[in-house]
Amino acid sequence: MNDPVNHPKHYTSSKACCSGCGKPIECIDITRHMNFNIGNVFKYLWRMGMKDSKLQEIKKAQWYLNDEVNRVHYELDFHEPAPYEQKENGK
């Protein structure tokens, strides 16, 4: 079943199932337990090549990963949460 709003095919195409109940695992079942950036990295890698081109999905994942690296660096350097500022290409 492809429900483009609640269960889009590019997020429900995994053959992975819960070992306890047998329910298919959707991307959101995993990403809802992650912070925003890491969840998006996972999401774009999960759907790689199923919605947009593989290269475009990898670049999107890389963008969020770079943002997370910058955020963590800031917190380590200044011992406080980073102010939100997305920098182009992680620079």
Angle between helices 36-46 and 54-78 (to 10 degrees): 160
Give the amino acid at 79: H
Q: What would the pLDDT profile of 34-76 be if each residue is shown by its tens digit?
A: 999 999 999 999 999 888 999 999 999 999 999 999 999 999 9
DSSP secondary structure, 33-67, as one string: TS-HHHHHHHHHHHTTTTSS-HHHHHHHHHHHHHH
Both tokens of 53, joined, read: 């081109």
Q: Is the CB of residue 2 less than 8 Å from the CB of residue 10?
A: no
Coil/strand/helix, residue 82: coil
Q: In one letter, which amino acid is 52?
A: D
pTM over 0.95: no
